[in-house]
Structure 1
Amino acid sequence: MKYLKILIIVAILICAWVFLRHTDLNKVGSSLQQVGYHFIWLLLSSACSYICGTMAWRYCMGADGKRIKLAQLFWIRHVGETVGVINPTSIVAGEAMKIYLLRDHQIEKPVVITSVLLSRVLMMVTQLLSLLIITILAFVFVPALHFSFSVAVMVLGILAGVVVIIYLLILLFKGLGKTRLGNWFACRTEKLRAKISEANTALRAFYYTNKKDLLIACCFFMLHWVLGSLELYIILRLLGTGAGFIPAMFVDMSVIIFKSAGAFVPAQIGVEEYGNKLMLAAIGLSATETWVTASLLRRARQLFWIITGLVAYFFIDRKRTIISYQNGDPVCKS
């Protein structure tokens, strides 16, 4: 509906304003001057990472993914990710935006919802798997960078904690109805659990009918994380730290854990910077100039893609409005 569209636009603009208000543009500009035209390499590495993420999502749609052009899906995904970054509700708002923008394409809504859920689950699984692999590699091959045993234990402990929490949640849902408190909770979450059950059924059906696509999607998501870490490696090279790709990827994947914990903070302002400081120190790069400049350059890249995402949303919405008018409908329907 028209009012829903206006509400979405206002919400996006407010979140973007909050992000800009907490970003020191003068310091960002100084960092950009320091690296000069080399900043383009940061944009290219992140663009390649986003393309791999889009390819993975497309394979999560199975045969229906061929009904939409990769370029269209790229911008829809990017707009959703942008909303997820700047909105306090994080991935909830981002995934909802993707579903909202895909409603006019020739893909059934259940397929869209399943693909969004599946892609998010695969992103989380491949992220944890990537962090586990890179932690082991860093611990084995990067002793020269002061990679401490305590840091490895901390990261592996976080991974183990995530697995335990997921396992406990599964036990909790299975045990609902066996106690008075469980009965009360079951009644209050009946609709939510029904939706989760539907999604679980759809995910199982996709797994049994599209195992090849699922494997390819996992490969693209792994590549998505690797190319995303390439950005930090380039920054550290530009700053002359001499850090290799393995420690750079370890830092990047670890910082993502910090960002996930602070997902409710718009653009994870302050959370990402603290993560950069702590994890760069873990590989022996404790100089203030290093983590501050690295954080500012990553903010500059993020700012570029946020602005690009906002512009893309208005183009997508304008195109949909024009098509709606051509079809004789003066008001866009949801």
Structure 2
Amino acid sequence: MAKPLRRTHSWFKIMLLSSILICLTLFLWNTNFQVILIQLQHIGIRYAIIFAVTAVAYFFATWSWQVCFGDYQARVSLYKLFSIRQIGETVGQFNPTSIIAGDVLKIKLLQSAKIPASVITNSVLISRITAILSQLSLVIFAGIWLMLSPQGQDIIQQFTVPFYALFLVLILGKGFLFYWLSYSKINESIPLIHPKNNWLRKIKEKRMELFGQIRQFYRQQNQLFWRSYALSFIHWIVGSLEFYLILRYLSIDIRIMQGIVLDMSILMIKSLGAFIPGQLGIEELGNKLMLQALGITVGTTWITVSILRRTRQLLWIIIGFILYLILKKENPQLAHA
């Protein structure tokens, strides 16, 4: 029985690695390195500030994840978590299963830590939930700003019905998630399933077990949950400064709130094409649409913005690969992850 399972696991690893390599190749193939170099020369040393801002944002995201380990926080360093998070997020960007593959890899890379497997799995899931909820909060906040500001009113007039429909859905969605965390029953009964479908029963049992542990964390370690939520919220705000700085360096007058609106809007557009490697074409289209919505139509600004954001993405891919090699050297058994 062990051999078939081992063989299945090996095939899964080969398929996962192949899909990542294919998607990464497509991404690099569609990257014009000559144009990137020209744009970097135009921005100059100031690009280091843009890159540093994203590094700070990733640090807060990592800290938010570390908090979710509860009593085991001291057993895993921020440096190691930062490395593992970056590796996982890179894999998630270039895999058709998106964040699923990235989160599974994070769990595997933490198996060598002296932390119970259930705590590791819960930390990944809970940090993902706090990231989603904090992002929804920032999107809703950005929506309120649009409704109250004169500039925002001009944008809303272009998408009146979709805007208010989406705004309502986001509020209801966030309310439902918090209701589920606060009041839903933890010990739910599992319907009897035919013995032939025993594998399906195991999947349902595991899913319900994980959901129950997430709700227990929220109810029993509420302070840690909200600390993770707050750190994740800061991560989204700092990350949004990338858009603000790029446009400022291109001599375009823009407010920080406009940068946040741009970043949150494009993140939502990118989520629609999460299965596309690196969201090729999706991010560029989002940049163009949202910049036009804000009235920023100066020449090929959207192309320049897209190139600079892709450059940042490419640099973090390289860093993620280097971090994996460092972790692998420090812990050789990661080669089997």
Q: In the aligned structure 1, how far is the partner of 2:78 from the partner of 2:225? A: 18
Q: In the aligned structure 1, how far is the partner of 2:150 from the partner of 2:165? A: 20
Residue aligning to 2:278:
267
Q: In the aligned structure 2, how far is the partner of 1:287 from the partner of 1:188? A: 57
Instruction: Out of 129-138 and 91-100, give the one that drifted further.
Output: 129-138
Q: In the aligned structure 1, how far is the partner of 2:220 from the partner of 2:150? A: 42
Alpha-carbon distance change, 144 to 239 in structure 1, aligned in 2, over 3 angstroms: farther
Aligned-residue identity in percent = 32
Alpha-carbon distance change, 189 to 136 in structure 1, aligned in 2, over 3 angstroms: farther
- Contact 2:84/2:109 (CA < 8 Å) preserved in 1? yes
- Contact 1:255/1:275 (CA < 8 Å) preserved in 2? yes
Structure 1: which amino acid aligns with 2:210? A
Selected match of 1:254 from 260, 265, 277: 265
Structure 1: which amino acid aligns with 2:205? A
Structure 2 gap segments, 5+ residues each: 1-5, 181-187
Alpha-carbon distance change, 195 to 29 in structure 1, aligned in 2, over 3 angstroms: same
Structure 2: which amino acid aligns with 1:261? L
Alpha-carbon distance change, 161 to 190 in structure 1, aligned in 2, over 3 angstroms: farther
Alpha-carbon distance change, 64 to 144 in structure 1, aligned in 2, over 3 angstroms: closer
Residue aligning to 1:240:
251
Alignment map for 1:113-152 (pairs within 5 Å)? 113-143=121-151, 146-151=154-159
Q: In the aligned structure 2, how far is the partner of 1:332 from the partner of 1:26? A: 35
Residue aligning to 2:43:
35
Selected match of 2:222 from 211, 219, 222: 211
Shift of 1:162: 5.6
Selected match of 1:229 from 230, 234, 240: 240
Structure 1 gap segments, 5+ residues each: 325-330
- Contact 1:46/1:228 (CA < 8 Å) preserved in 2? yes
- Contact 1:49/1:227 (CA < 8 Å) preserved in 2? yes
CA deviation string 1:104-130 (max 9, x = no partner):
011111001111111111111111111
CA deviation string 1:17-38 (max 9, x = no partner):
2221121212212211111111
Shift of 1:208: 2.4
- Partner of 1:274, secondary structure, is helix
- Contact 1:78/1:309 (CA < 8 Å) preserved in 2? yes
Selected match of 2:320 from 309, 313, 320: 309
Q: In the aligned structure 2, how far is the partner of 1:221 from the partner of 1:132? A: 15
Structure 2: which amino acid aligns with 1:255? I
CA deviation string 1:52-73 (max 9, x = no partner):
0001001111111221111111
Shift of 1:74: 0.7
Q: In the aligned structure 2, how far is the partner of 1:309 from the partner of 1:193? A: 34
- Contact 1:128/1:159 (CA < 8 Å) preserved in 2? no
Aligned length: 318
Residue aligning to 1:106:
114
CA RMSD after TM alignment: 3.2
